[in-house]
Amino acid sequence: MDKQHIFDKPKNVTRLLVFFYAILVILVAIDFVIQKHPHFAWEEWPQFFAVFGFVACVLLVLVSKYVLRPLVKRKEDYYD
């Protein structure tokens, strides 16, 4: 008998995604309400840190794929 896990049911996955999207909407709304104390002018832009984090993540993936991977990659028959 297979053990039933929490994410085996699509209903639970849907609930979790709705929860995550609700948290996302709440955090985006809070960013427009809270008072910011920026050091630089661009930090006042709405959702600056969300966009900055997304761009940094994409750049990290691209640099690791196209710059770092060729440096550390071994040939296919390296261990033969």
Contact indicator for 43, 36 with CB cutoff of 8 Å: yes
Q: Return d(Cα 50, Cα 59) in angstroms, integer.
A: 14
Q: Is residue 60 part of a domain?
A: no
Range of the domain at 12: 1-34
Q: Is residue 39 part of a domain?
A: no
Average pLDDT over residues 17-46: 91
Q: Which residue has the higher pLDDT, 20 or 2?
A: 20
Q: Is residue 28 part of a domain?
A: yes
Can you give the pLDDT at residue 56? 98
**Count of the separate structural domains present in the chain:** 1
Q: Is residue 2 part of a domain?
A: yes
Task: Report the share of the chain in percent with pLDDT over 90.
Answer: 55
Q: Is the pLDDT of residue 46 over 90?
A: no
